[in-house]
Amino acid sequence: MLVRTLTARVRPGHIGPLNDMLRRQLPILREQPGLLYVKLARRLEPDGGEEVVLFEEWRDVHALYRWAGNDLSRPRLLPGTDAHIDDLRIAHYEALDLEPSDLDESG
């Protein structure tokens, strides 16, 4: 299993539009084969901006590549999303909370 996190710093004054765009993205993401879990969270910052985290859990690397494309360092977001973001980081992790035998059973 793979975990993909997108962490973005949202510009002050852009919180509402960005959150609306990300909420519209969630149903599209949830339809993807191999996606096991997704969570959108935020942390408000003192300067009026916010930090958002999109946490995705994927069954396998093939499912993640089908969604994200060949360059996993690029986000797959709705057009115009980047106009609301100052900084975006993407990270990928191998999930260690399951035994290899558990993965074999889930297919």
**76-86 pLDDT per residue, tens:** 999 999 999 98
Task: Assess whether pLDDT exceeds 80 at residue 107.
Answer: no
pLDDT confidence bin for 104, thresholds 50/70/90: low
- pLDDT attached to residue 47: 85
SS (H, E, C) 14-82: CHHHHHHHHHHHHHHHHCCCCEEEEEEEEEECCCCCEEEEEEEEECCHHHHHHHHCCCCCCCCCCCCHH
Q: What residues contact residue 28 under an 8 Å CB cut-off, 6+ apart? A: none
pTM, 2 dp: 0.84
Q: Which fold has domain 2-96?
A: Alpha-Beta Plaits (3.30.70)
Per-residue pLDDT reduced to its tens digit, 13-36: 999 999 999 999 999 999 999 999
Q: Where are the domains of the chain?
A: 2-96
| pLDDT tens profile 32-76 | 999 999 999 999 989 888 999 999 999 999 999 999 999 999 999
